Amino acid sequence: MSQSIEVLNLRTQRDFQYVLKMETQMKGLKAKFRQIEDDRKTLMTKHFQDLKEKMDELLPLIPVLEQYKTDAKLITQFKEEIRNLSAVLTGIQEEIGAYDYEELHQRVLSLETRLRDCMKKLTCGKLMKITGPITVKTSGTRFGAWMTDPLASEKNNRVWYMDSYTNNKIVREYKSITDFISGAESRTYNLPFKWAGTNHVVYNGSLYFNKYQSNIIIKYSFDTGRVLAQRSLEYAGFHNVYPYTWGGFSDIDLMADEIGLWAIYATNQNAGNIVISQLNQDTLEVMKSWSTGYPKRSAGESFMICGTLYVTNSHLTGAKVYYSYSTKTSTYEYTDIPFHNQYFHISMLDYNARDRALYAWNNGHQVLFNVTLFHIIKTEDDT
C-alpha cells in the first residue's frame, strides 16, 4: 500500500507542478487581457480574438487545478496515516519480539493449568434446578437408553443407542450427535449377552450393563469387542423384583458421576429400599455401600451428581426430584425440584458429568435436560 501511495504521489506532484505553472501563465494572461480590454480601441480585432481563444482554452484547467490541490491534500493524509500505522506495527513487533516463543508457550500452558485447577474446584455442587427438555431425536420404542462417555476427550463425541429394555443385544454407535440425529451409524456391536432394563452406562470406553435375568454386571470393551469383567451384585434383586415404578427389569441401575462408577439397586436385607454401591471400574468389585430408607419400587428414576443420589417420585407427568442421599455425609433430605416430563413417560434418566446434563429416554424421544448446580468451592483443607 505504501508503494502504491508513493507512485500516486509522484505522479500527482508532477501533474501538480505542471498545473501550477499553467496557473501562473493564466494569471499573467488574465492581467494582460484586462489591460487589452481597457484599451481595446487601440488593439486590432484579430489580436484580441487570439487572446480570447487562448483564455477559453485555459479556463477548463481551473477546476482541474482545484482537484489536484484536493488530491494532494488527500495523499498527504494517506502518507501520514501510513507512517502512524507503521509505527504502531513496529511497536507491536518489538513488544512480541521481547518474548521468546517458548516463554510465551509456557505462559499459555501455565494459564491453562490454572484455569483447569479453578474449574476442578467448581466441578461439584448441589442440584438446584432442572430445565428443558431439549428434544434431540424421536426414534425407537417407548423404552431404551442413549448415552455418551463422560470421560471421553472433547473431540470424541460418540453416541451409543440401545433400544428396548429386554430381548436385545445390539448397540448402535454414532460418531457425533449430528450423525445420531441423521441416523448415520458408524458401527454396530453385537453383545455376547442380552441386557436387562435401560440403566446402562458407558464409562471410559467400556459399556456396563446388567445381564438379562441375573444380578450380574458386565463390563464390555468397545475397542476390543470383548467382555473385560463380570461380577454378581450380591443380594441385589433382579428381573422385576425391585424395579423402578415403570417396571421394565429396571432393578439394577448403573451410572457414573464426577467421583466414579455406581450401582443403584435394592435388597431383601434392606427391606427393598435403595442401596448405593461404589464400584471399581476395572474389577466391578463393590468398594463401599450405603443403605437408604427410600423404597426402590417408589422411585421413578435416579441419578448421581457429585456423590449424591437424586431420586424422582414418578416416571409420569408431574414427576420431580423428591429425595436425595449424600454418600459424603451419609445423610438424606427430601427435595422439591420439578422438571418437565414433556412426553409423559420416562424410562431412562442419567447424568453426564462432562456435559453437565441429564440424558433421558422420554417415551420414544431422546431428550436432554440442563442442570443448575450450587457450586461449593473446594479449599486446600477439603478432603
Location of C-alpha cell 457425533: 176
pLDDT per residue as tens digits for the range 139-152: 999 999 999 999 99
Query: Would you state the pLDDT for residue 228?
Result: 98
pLDDT per residue as tens digits for the range 360-376: 999 999 999 999 998 65
Give the contacts of 173 (CB within 8 A, at least 6 positions apart): 158, 159, 160, 161, 185, 186, 187, 188, 189, 222
pLDDT per residue as tens digits for the range 106-158: 665 666 666 555 555 556 889 999 999 999 999 999 999 999 999 999 889 99
Helices (H), the chain: 2-38, 45-58, 61-97, 101-121, 177-182
Instruction: Give the model's confidence band at 95: pLDDT under 50 very low, under 70 low, under 90 confident, else very high.
Output: low
Query: Would you state the pLDDT for residue 27?
Result: 72
Asked if pLDDT for residue 383 goes beyond 80, the answer is no
Q: How many CB atoms lie within 10 A of CB 80?
A: 10
Which cell numbers hold the place of 346? 420416562
Q: What is the average per-residue pLDDT within 324-331?
A: 98
- Least Cα distance to 358 among 136, 116, 122, 118 occurs for 136
- Least Cα distance to 349 among 372, 319, 307, 318 occurs for 319
Instruction: Give the model's confidence band at 61: pLDDT under 50 very low, under 70 low, under 90 confident, else very high.
Output: low
* Chain mean pLDDT for the chain: 85
Q: What is the dihedral of CA 180, 181, 183, 188, to 10 degrees?
A: 20
Query: Would you state the pLDDT for residue 25?
Result: 72
- Residue-wise burial string across 301-339, b where 16 or more C-beta atoms lie within 10 A, e elsewhere: bbbbbbbbbbbbbbbeeebebbbbbebeeeebeebebeb
Q: What is the average per-residue pLDDT within 35-51?
A: 62
Query: Would you state the pLDDT for residue 32?
Result: 72
What's the Cα-to-Cα distance from 163 to each of 177, 183, 190, 198, 270, rounded to whole Å?
17, 14, 13, 8, 31
Query: Whole-prediction pTM value?
Result: 0.69
- Assign domain 125-374 to its CATH architecture: 5 Propeller (2.115)
**Burial (CB count <10 Å: 0-12, 13-18, 19+), residue 24:** exposed
**Range in 10-14, 265-269, 285-289 with the lowest mean pLDDT:** 10-14
Asked if pLDDT for residue 350 goes beyond 70, the answer is yes
Instruction: Give the model's confidence band at 51: pLDDT under 50 very low, under 70 low, under 90 confident, else very high.
Output: low
Which of the given ranges, 24-33, 50-59, 75-84, has the highest pLDDT on average?
24-33
3-class SS at 181?
helix
- Sequence spans of domains, the chain: 3-119, 125-374
Give the contacts of 373 (CB within 8 A, at least 6 positions apart): 124, 125, 126, 127, 128, 305, 306, 356
Which cell numbers hold the place of 15? 501533474
Q: What is the average per-residue pLDDT within 189-193?
A: 98
